Structure 1
Amino acid sequence: MIAIFSLLLGMNSCVDVENLTPSVSREGINSIKASFDNDDSSENSFTSEIDYENGIITIVFPYNYPRTSENVLTMDKLKHVRVVANLDDNVTISPAILYMDLTKDNYITVTDQSKKKKTYKVIAEIRKSAECVISSFEIPTAGLSGVIDEGAKTISLISLENIGSVLAKVSVSHGATMSPDPTKQAQNYDNEVKINVTAQNGTTSTVYTVKKAVPSKTEFGLRAGSGKVLWSKKLNSELGISVLNLTGGIAATKDYVVINTRNQNSIYLDRKTGAIAGTLNLGDNVGNLVNFYNTCDDNDNILLCNLSPNAGAFKIWKIKGVTGTPQPFIEWNGGLAMGRKISVKGSIDGDAIITAPIYAAGNQFARWQVKGGVLQSQTPNIITVSGLGGSWGTNCDIVYTDPTNVNSDYFAAFYASPYKFAWISGATNTLKTYLPSNNAGNWIPNATDYAVFNKCPYAVYNTINSFTWGSDDSIYLFDVSTTSSITSPVWNAPIGTYGGKDNGGQNANGTGDVALKVSDNGYYMYLYFMFTNGCVVCVQYDCINM
């Protein structure tokens, strides 16, 4: 009986293996991707086009590399290129590939599931860009930013006043040309202006119509599906921040994103492109425990804090824009562990609420209030939150919803059971509800922000992977107009893409940051986020009814 059972088991195993061969054979090979050795740039990945009928695989390289540089990529740079093939299950390729000399033809043979063979020729092509897109359009003299409807190819200038003939500031696809060029030839924007954009390849083109108008908005909140990543920069290889685990915060002003690295002057990036735009002058406020974290209010006031009690009394400095210098703002010798995060809602030139979590048992935070541009007291109110799980330890961030009302609700991202994002009643300082989370305790929430966009309130928080294994590092944006609207996020960052483990190295402190900003014209909301040792990223949403 044992022998018969073994025989039947073996027969069933054979059937399972045979079922792995699909009834209809596909092409076998789906793509070949190429990359350069010793290049950590996010651009270092080149896709291919496959002509299955004629057996030709063309790996396409850009004319300029890096793509936004003036460096022309030449064929001699393709002598030793790393290649990776994407194959269907049970498909093999010979000879085995790892590197190719793409200055010459390469031949590979693909054997599919039915043992059928096909030979492909692999070649390289350096191709000029076919992109012809206007990504931003501004009239600096009038303080106007155009609202771009890419589908309709229209750019709306929201103005009730005459604009006249003026020069524009335009971001256009790299290598593309404009006719007429509004950055060199003044145009009268009180009338419709048509701009023909021709791509770098000289053949692909599109026409944009610039007009004074007020585009209609969605009834409430952002347009579904409008979230798109405008740019992503690796802290280490692209921004030159080589030290690990010391970059913990970002401060988003109207025009720049300030990246706080504790042992150096903070750098700031152009908010539209992610390009390095300059360095803050922090003076004596540089040090591992001094410029520990920064954030920004609604009026370009950057707030910088130290780590207390490690660096003595808790201090917050204010810096007016990226050209300002640190000025003393708050000093409180409370002897409590503070400074890993601070948040501000509103403007310290008007009304604002500033919070700093206290990293000890008891779910407490310090709160300062600003009224009419005047700090009400150097001594904060100490608020205790009830109804939560365990104490939030060294990872917590708290942001209020109304800068004029200390009894308004607030949100807390913290690392304690049940590891969920918390919506807290400001009137009673008790838990109102938890927002959904897939966090089982391995991933660390430690930053949050809040903004109202097109009449809809939004809250965002992060979860961070601090290990050398596993996959997390994501961002979750929620519609928090009602407690019933938070069953799932309206946008989240793909896991395992932007974090430290997947880029510069293990995020040992489990730190990162998030910031929400609404454009002055009210048509765009920007989400900026950063993972320590990973990337800083800009995501754009709109509320254009299209």
Structure 2
Amino acid sequence: MKRNIFFTVILLLVYLTGCQEPDELLPSISRAGINSIVATFPDGTGEFIGTVQEGSNEIIIPIPYFYPVSSDNRVTEEMISKMRVRANLDDNVTVNPPLLYMDLTKENVIFVKDQVGEIHEYIVRGEIRKSSECEIKEFKIPSLGLTGVINEATKTISLVAIGDLEPAIAEVTLSFHATISPDPREQALDYNNEVEFVVTAHDGVTQNVYTVKKEIPEKLPYGIRSGSAKLMFAKKLKADIGITVDHLTGGLAVAGDYIVLNTRGENSIYLDAKTGEKIGEIDLGSVKGNLTNFYNTADKAGNILICNLAPNDGAFKVWKLSDVSGSPELLIEWDGGVAVGRKISVQGDINGNAIITAPILSNGQQFARWTISDGNLSSQTPEIITMSGLAKGWTTNCDIVYTSGSDVNSDYFVASYSDNTFAWVDGTTNQVKQMLESISVNYIQNAVDFIEFNNAQYATVNWVNSFTWGAADMVWLLDVTTSSNFTGNLETGTCPAVVWETTRDTYGAKAVTPVVPNANGTGDVALKVSEDGFYLYLYFMFTNGYVVGYQFDCIDM
């Protein structure tokens, strides 16, 4: 009897609870739901971001007085009277009316329905603003052979010099449209004593005062200064640089004061290495061709190397240019009958000692190696090096760089796909001695560079997304002075050798509107040290995306 009563109670409880209405799942915090509105010109150029003004319902989109900001092309109200706009919304948030175009000279009313169903009214408008930037980007005195070391935190510029300095004219790079007083470009000044300069932004209000002094700043005893990473520029290949062809820009070379971009079948374009502004083009003459100028790189002295794709374009060839004003000269011609030329790397100086490497494609774990001693190429026919230690090797995606330009037994680094790992190879045995854990095989590693800086050694490697989905397009900078930290996984952030990295999807093809996927999965990286040894520069490029420059320093401050 008791057992029957027990089951009756249970069934009654199930019935009662089963008839209850389900609770409505709502977020614990009510949010307005709109994070920003992005505006572009009708042709897709520009990207101007407006956010909700604190304490108001206004979303003001600031638009530069000149566009591009480096030009003297003034933005008029007529130009912003029909702007493409899109909203950055939280999940389950809607905006009405739907956004497509706006006249940003007027107040535009929108209604945002947040996650809890509340409706918020916002007023969206544009505002053409003069720049408030007022920095000294670069300070040089060519006649004295001096380049100032800029400490932006203290607004001091150090001239590394001993002895008296003659009064001299300086070359100064300022924030765009800023002015400087007194102007050292017009007036020869005495720098034996401290000199103060007032830099005024284009808005006529914002100012910075810099002090130039003759001194030798202290360096850290080792490596880069933590937190010194500074974005110098990020330029869209198509909208900002003017490269109109998709998929074919695959090589990046650092040549002195310039960055040289190689686009197959086109003349190479060179940019200012500090600002990313396009300076000019290199006439490649007969070397220009879809399979002929397939890729480029540069040695530490700024000599540019261009290679073709073999055997598709016949024998493998490498041309050299001494600088951006030079003409291609044939350096290497090798009819090896193997697939080679998607990447080449050079360590050292081809006018002194250098090692040039070119992965052999779809042929196990082999690469071609040429050596140059005292400016002389040892042979047109390379040594074929067979390495071991990777599970799969590579097919079309691989890059290899040595750690020395003169010692063929020095270690080297390999970034490749399909293993999709970053490998450190013993240069004596050609056996992988250490490698990082594999990262997602949906994306590609295919570019690496190595450099020594301030008693430390650094390597950089990329990760390329060739799809319209997923998240990758990253670059890492690793301290590889010792192998003890060369462990873990780049993708999960567990590699202790990493000293800096980009955020995902910030500079790749997916970051550009409209998205043109990087179907060839190509990109490049390069490292360079300033002549005075105070700065390390990291440059990288994602095809159909951006070319980017970052600066690091070793100043003890």
Structure 1 length normalisation: TM-score?
Answer: 0.92
Greater mean alpha carbon deviation, residues 86-95 or residues 252-261: 86-95
Tell me the amino acid that sits aligned with residue 502 of structure 2: A
Q: Distance in 1 between matches of 2:151 and 2:21?
A: 59
Aligned with 1:46: secondary structure?
strand
Is 1:14 matched up with 2:17? Answer: no
Tell me the amino acid that sits aligned with residue 546 of structure 2: C
Q: Deviations over 1:19-48 (max 9, x none)?
A: x242xx55x25544241343333x422324
Offset of 1:226 from its aligned partner? 1.4
Partner residue in 1 for 2:5: none
Partner residue in 1 for 2:533: 522
CA contact (8 A) 2:93 2:114 kept: yes
Q: Distance in 1 between matches of 2:115 and 2:410?
A: 63
Partner residue in 2 for 1:337: 339
Partner residue in 2 for 1:490: 499
Offset of 1:420 from its aligned partner? 0.7
Q: Distance in 1 between matches of 2:325 and 2:207?
A: 39
Q: Deviations over 1:43-100 (max 9, x none)?
A: 4223245142x54443322222222221222333332234444556666655555443
Partner residue in 2 for 1:444: 444
CA contact (8 A) 2:258 2:273 kept: yes
Identity of aligned residues (%): 51
Is 1:282 matched up with 2:291? Answer: no
Aligned with 1:160: secondary structure?
coil
Q: Distance in 1 between matches of 2:474 and 2:188?
A: 44
Offset of 1:108 from its aligned partner? 4.2
CA contact (8 A) 1:48 1:60 kept: no
Indicate how the Cα distance of structure 1 residues 367 and 200 shifts in structure 2: closer, same or farther if over 3 A, else same. Answer: same
Is 1:512 matched up with 2:516? Answer: no
Paired residues for 1:233-272 under 5 Å: 233-272=235-274
Partner residue in 1 for 2:546: 535
Q: Distance in 2 between matches of 1:507 and 1:116?
A: 41
Greater mean alpha carbon deviation, residues 202-211 or residues 278-287: 278-287
Partner residue in 2 for 1:434: 435
Tell me the amino acid that sits aligned with residue 245 of structure 2: V
Q: Deviations over 1:87-145 (max 9, x none)?
A: 56666655555443332333445566676666444443222222111111111222322
Q: Distance in 2 between matches of 1:352 and 1:216?
A: 32
Indicate how the Cα distance of structure 1 residues 91 and 243 shifts in structure 2: closer, same or farther if over 3 A, else same. Answer: closer
Indicate how the Cα distance of structure 1 residues 530 and 85 shifts in structure 2: closer, same or farther if over 3 A, else same. Answer: closer
Offset of 1:308 from its aligned partner? 1.3
Indicate how the Cα distance of structure 1 residues 388 and 195 shifts in structure 2: closer, same or farther if over 3 A, else same. Answer: same
Offset of 1:237 from its aligned partner? 2.2
Partner residue in 1 for 2:490: none
Is 1:46 matched up with 2:49? Answer: yes
Q: Distance in 2 between matches of 1:473 and 1:105?
A: 37
> 5+ residue gaps in structure 1?
none
Aligned with 1:224: secondary structure?
coil
Tell me the amino acid that sits aligned with residue 511 of structure 1: T
Greater mean alpha carbon deviation, residues 77-86 or residues 56-65: 77-86
Indicate how the Cα distance of structure 1 residues 73 and 335 shifts in structure 2: closer, same or farther if over 3 A, else same. Answer: same
Greater mean alpha carbon deviation, residues 489-498 or residues 71-80: 71-80
Tell me the amino acid that sits aligned with residue 349 of structure 1: N
Tell me the amino acid that sits aligned with residue 328 of structure 2: P
Structure 2 length normalisation: TM-score?
Answer: 0.90
Offset of 1:533 from its aligned partner? 1.7
Q: Distance in 1 between matches of 2:450 and 2:17?
A: 63
Q: Deviations over 1:208-260 (max 9, x none)?
A: 00111111112211111212221112222222222222221111112111111
Aligned with 2:48: secondary structure?
coil
Q: Distance in 2 between matches of 1:464 and 1:296?
A: 21
Paired residues for 1:356-395 under 5 Å: 356-395=358-397
Partner residue in 2 for 1:500: 509
Partner residue in 2 for 1:100: 102
Is 1:309 matched up with 2:311? Answer: yes
Partner residue in 2 for 1:173: 175
Aligned with 1:393: secondary structure?
strand
Tell me the amino acid that sits aligned with residue 482 of structure 2: T
CA contact (8 A) 2:411 2:425 kept: yes
> Which of the numbers 157, 181, 184 marks the counterpart of 1:182?
184
Q: Distance in 1 between matches of 2:265 and 2:12?
A: 72
Tell me the amino acid that sits aligned with residue 278 of structure 1: G
Q: Distance in 1 between matches of 2:443 and 2:120?
A: 46
CA contact (8 A) 1:465 1:510 kept: yes
Tell me the amino acid that sits aligned with residue 528 of structure 1: Y
CA contact (8 A) 2:536 2:552 kept: yes
Tell me the amino acid that sits aligned with residue 466 of structure 1: S
Is 1:403 matched up with 2:414? Answer: no
Indicate how the Cα distance of structure 1 residues 4 and 336 shifts in structure 2: closer, same or farther if over 3 A, else same. Answer: farther
Q: Distance in 2 between matches of 1:393 and 1:544?
A: 42
Aligned with 1:141: secondary structure?
helix
Greater mean alpha carbon deviation, residues 158-167 or residues 144-153: 158-167
Q: Distance in 2 between matches of 1:93 and 1:265?
A: 46
Q: Deviations over 1:405-457 (max 9, x none)?
A: 1000000011022x2100000011101111355x2211111111000111110
Indicate how the Cα distance of structure 1 residues 283 and 137 shifts in structure 2: closer, same or farther if over 3 A, else same. Answer: same
Indicate how the Cα distance of structure 1 residues 429 and 75 shifts in structure 2: closer, same or farther if over 3 A, else same. Answer: same
Q: Distance in 1 between matches of 2:445 and 2:147?
A: 35
Q: Distance in 1 between matches of 2:197 and 2:229?
A: 26
CA contact (8 A) 1:29 1:85 kept: no
Aligned with 1:395: secondary structure?
strand
Q: Distance in 1 between matches of 2:169 and 2:186?
A: 7
Q: Deviations over 1:372-392 (max 9, x none)?
A: 111122221111101111121
Indicate how the Cα distance of structure 1 residues 310 and 224 shifts in structure 2: closer, same or farther if over 3 A, else same. Answer: same
Partner residue in 1 for 2:68: 66
Aligned with 1:421: secondary structure?
strand
Q: Distance in 1 between matches of 2:388 and 2:309?
A: 25
Is 1:124 matched up with 2:133? Answer: no
Offset of 1:169 from its aligned partner? 1.3
Greater mean alpha carbon deviation, residues 372-381 or residues 503-512: 503-512
CA contact (8 A) 2:508 2:542 kept: yes
Aligned with 1:163: secondary structure?
coil
Partner residue in 2 for 1:423: 424
Q: Distance in 1 between matches of 2:468 and 2:413?
A: 29
CA contact (8 A) 1:21 1:113 kept: no
Partner residue in 2 for 1:544: 555
Q: Distance in 1 between matches of 2:477 and 2:299?
A: 20
